[in-house]
């Protein structure tokens, strides 16, 4: 339950002002320490007891106010990274552009950041407006104003359990708005990935973009073309593997962003939005969300196998039209699709190799005569390939009978498996080629013996 909307939102001209923040006391908000990570509390109290300021900040405060369980907890402090590192035995310094401290508690890691200030020099911004240097320590107020969205600039103070709000984040959260801090065009140019984050929050939190933030996404989406492919891969995992993949994909398509993440797939789907290839992606995202909701594991390899399937399928058909046999044609199609995709989003090889196995199994699953069914069943990635076949059948491709056959084949005894294979229509055999007999060479007459 959010507290009443007690503050209007500051305007752009108020940035870096010296206005006192809105301080929401403990009795006016719903955040309780019982809902926090015990490890995060250890870090907060450790910093406080050492004489430093310590705040929970960002998404964890936002989610707690919305009654959600945060995925992780981040801490902001006026202690330097080296001071934090000395304070906590199991910690390590990370980062080059701006040092952070990761405090480890087994599998849980609490990230601690020193308050940051805005870039001080023109040289810190490149020709497109992106921040290229960002390692200036600052105050709590400076740290708040340099954050991206107002709802992520709320600070929970461990000293008195209050919430500190410089940017109007509480009012926006109450109004259900995602709003950028500061001039929208400038902030998107500083870091175009903020457009992806904005849409991810819309999908995850059920909030809406404020008019000014929304207005700039479509015209500035092209800036994403200059983001390093490795960073876009990390962002895609956040977009598609947080339980809201289906809604997120619709938003990425609506705002013209998907073409900068999946260029070839986007082009194919734009030409045929109601194709079975489009339904494969839609069904894959629905299934992914369902697995996450049920606490089941999901793998990026299967996700990318589905997202790139329209491209692979189209190229596969093109190669077969050139009289290339199905298996080599599929191998070439897979290679082409992956090599072009990694130029935009750098999908690691450990995932692309599995995606290729999934695609190749789509042929092997159709080949069930003789010992082939058992050989396919023994493939390390059989389950993933079988699940992909089920996905294609769900999307309307004509493989439901084949999917049902494999479902039964996995469950029955070996004797019944043998009967299932025997019951298949006989495999058409190629007529044996008659071996050509070598032509008999004419015997040369032996030379007559010479007589003296």
Residue-wise DSSP of 349-394: HHHHHHHHHHHHHHHHTT--TTTHHHHHHTSTTHHHHHHHHHHHHH
* Tens digits of residue pLDDT in 373-402: 999 999 999 999 999 999 999 999 999 999
Contacts of 215 (CB under 8 A, 6+ apart): 184
Picking from 132, 126, 130, the residue whose alpha carbon sits closest to that of residue 98 is 132
Answer yes or no: same fold for 1-227 and 229-421.
no
- Give the pLDDT confidence score for residue 441 in this predicted structure: 55
Q: Which are the catalytic amino acids?
A: 72, 74, 148
Q: Could you give the CA distance from residue 312 to residue 103 in angstroms, rounded to a whole number?
A: 43
Picking from 351, 333, 331, the residue whose alpha carbon sits closest to that of residue 342 is 351
Q: What is the mean pLDDT of residues 127-149?
A: 78
- Give the pLDDT confidence score for residue 128 in this predicted structure: 56
Q: What is the mean pLDDT of residues 319-335?
A: 96
* Tens digits of residue pLDDT in 30-67: 999 999 999 999 999 999 999 999 999 999 999 999 99
Q: What is the pTM of this model?
A: 0.83
Report domain 229-421's class.
Answer: mainly alpha
- Among residues of the chain, what percentage have pLDDT more than 70? 87
- Give the pLDDT confidence score for residue 430 in this predicted structure: 61
Picking from 232, 230, 303, 223, the residue whose alpha carbon sits closest to that of residue 255 is 223
Considering the chain, what is the average pLDDT of its residues? 89
H-helix or E-strand spanning residue 164 = strand 163-165
Picking from 87, 100, 94, the residue whose alpha carbon sits closest to that of residue 43 is 87
Picking from 288, 290, 270, the residue whose alpha carbon sits closest to that of residue 278 is 270
Read off the tokens for 219. Answer: 């015209």
- Give the pLDDT confidence score for residue 308 in this predicted structure: 97
| pLDDT over threshold 90, residue 19 | no
Buried b (16+ CB within 10 A) or exposed e, 231-255: ebbebbeebbbbbbbbbbbebbbeb
- Give the pLDDT confidence score for residue 273 in this predicted structure: 86
Q: What is the mean pLDDT of residues 111-118?
A: 93
* Tens digits of residue pLDDT in 259-286: 999 999 999 999 888 889 899 999 999 9
**Domain map of the chain by residue range?**
1-227, 229-421
| pLDDT over threshold 50, residue 97 | yes
Place of tokens 């919430």: 163
In this structure, which topology does domain 1-227 adopt according to CATH? Answer: Beta Polymerase; domain 2 (3.30.460)
Q: What is the mean pLDDT of residues 107-112?
A: 95
Of 47-51, 150-154, 444-448, where does mean pLDDT reach its minimum?
444-448
| pLDDT over threshold 90, residue 230 | yes
Picking from 117, 101, 119, the residue whose alpha carbon sits closest to that of residue 109 is 101
């Amino acid at each position: 339950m959010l507290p009443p909307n007690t503050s209007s939102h500051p305007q752009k001209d108020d940035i870096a002002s010296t206005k006192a923040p809105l301080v929401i006391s403990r009795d006016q908000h719903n955040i309780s320490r019982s809902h926090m990570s015990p490890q995060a509390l250890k870090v907060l109290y450790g910093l406080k007891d050492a004489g430093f300021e310590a705040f929970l900040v960002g998404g964890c405060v936002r989610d707690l106010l919305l009654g959600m369980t945060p995925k992780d907890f981040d801490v902001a402090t006026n202690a330097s990274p080296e001071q934090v590192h000395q304070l906590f035995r199991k910690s390590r310094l990370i980062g080059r552009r701006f040092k952070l401290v990761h405090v480890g508690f087994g599998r849980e890691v609490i990230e601690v950041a020193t308050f940051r200030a805005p870039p001080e020099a023109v040289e810190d911004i490149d020709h497109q407006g992106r921040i290229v240097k960002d390692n200036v320590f600052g105050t709590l107020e400076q740290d708040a104003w340099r954050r991206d969205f107002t709802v992520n600039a709320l600070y929970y103070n461990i000293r008195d359990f209050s919430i500190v709000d410089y940017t109007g984040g509480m009012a926006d959260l109450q109004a259900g708005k995602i709003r950028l801090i500061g001039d929208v065009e400038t902030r998107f140019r500083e870091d175009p990935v903020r457009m992806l984050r904005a849409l991810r929050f819309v999908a995850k939190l059920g909030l809406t973009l404020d008019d000014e933030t929304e207005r700039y996404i479509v015209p500035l989406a092209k800036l994403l073309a200059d983001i390093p492919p490795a960073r876009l891969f990390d962002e895609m995992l956040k977009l598609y593997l947080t339980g809201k993949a289906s809604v997120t994909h619709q938003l990425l398509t609506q705002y013209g962003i998907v073409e900068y993440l999946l260029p070839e797939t986007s082009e194919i789907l734009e030409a045929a939005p109601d194709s079975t290839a489009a339904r494969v992606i839609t069904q894959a995202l629905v299934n992914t969300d369902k697995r996450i909701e049920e606490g089941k594991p999901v793998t990026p390899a299967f996700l990318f196998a589905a997202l790139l399937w329209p491209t692979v399928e189209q190229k596969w058909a093109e190669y077969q039209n050139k009289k290339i046999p199905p298996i080599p044609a599929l191998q070439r199609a897979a290679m082409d699709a992956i090599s072009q995709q990694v130029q935009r989003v750098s999908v690691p090889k450990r995932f692309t190799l599995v995606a290729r196995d999934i695609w190749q199994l789509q042929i092997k699953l159709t080949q069930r005569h003789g010992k082939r069914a058992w050989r396919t069943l023994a493939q390390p990635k059989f389950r993933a390939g079988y699940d992909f076949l089920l996905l294609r059948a769900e999307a309307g491709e004509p493989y439901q009978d084949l999917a049902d056959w494999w479902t039964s084949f996995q469950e029955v005894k070996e004797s019944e498996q043998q009967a299932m294979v025997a019951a298949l229509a006989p495999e058409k055999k190629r007529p044996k080629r008659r071996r050509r007999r070598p032509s008999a060479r004419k015997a040369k007459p032996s030379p007559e013996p010479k007589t003296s």
